[in-house]
Amino acid sequence: MHDDGVRPKLIVVNDLMQRGYEYQLSSPAGREFGDGFEPELTPEEMLHLGVFGGRYLTDCQAEFPDAWYAGARLCHEQHVPELNYFGINASLPLAQWQARGWICADDPRGWFQWYCRYFMGRRLPGEDEHQIARWRAFRRHAAQVRKNCLPGDDKCRPKQRQALMNWAYDSRRM
């Protein structure tokens, strides 16, 4: 039990990439984020807008809220860049993420899986700070869009805008 008397909720994951993985939700969903971590989009908004070619988390419906999937732009069979908000591929293959050491054992799908679980209330000391630092570093792409594009010009730097959206930055507002 926590100091507030609330018992953490145990989540057991059985999907295509993890079997029997367990974690606890120890913080309220969508709240109590680390200092300086202020994502502009929720995981639900990201899935509905279109990220990662629609291929992300299609086998994880038992783990996350149904609302995240209702109306989401997803394709279970393959990565479809046209499903992205900006209609362009802005993702590296998972194998490249693995080769670059960007994947941790707890989240074999990468940053977005970490963010979804963090948003739901999972906390992993050390890993959370690492992922938040990666998110902060990605902000440099927002600065480039603002520097080189007129506000609201979605046709300017669409790949960079899509990449920002994949990292929970709302690049529609830049």
Compute the average pLDDT of residues 21-37.
96
* Per-residue pLDDT at 19 exceeds 60: yes
Average pLDDT of the chain, as a whole number: 92
* Per-residue pLDDT at 1 exceeds 60: no
Confidence of residue 93 (pLDDT cuts 50, 70, 90): confident
pLDDT for position 52: 93
Q: Under a CB-based contact definition with an 8 Å cutoff, are residues 12 and 22 in contact?
A: yes
Please give the single-letter amino acid code of residue 46.
Answer: M
pLDDT tens digits for range 7-17: 789 999 999 99
pLDDT tens digits for range 76-89: 889 999 999 999 99
Residue with tokens 């993985």: 21
Q: Could you tell me which residues come within 8 angstroms of residue 76 by beta carbon, excluding any fewer than 6 positions away? A: 55, 58, 59
Q: Tokens standing for 59?
A: 């086998």
Q: In this structure, what are the phi and psi dihedrals at residue 113, rounded to the nearest 5 degrees?
A: -65, -45
Compute the average pLDDT of residues 107-116.
95
pLDDT tens digits for range 113-153: 999 999 999 999 999 999 999 999 999 999 999 999 999 89
Q: Could you tell me which residues come within 8 angstroms of residue 105 by beta carbon, excluding any fewer than 6 positions away? A: none
Task: Determine the Cα angle at 7 with ends 42 and 126, to 5°.
Answer: 55
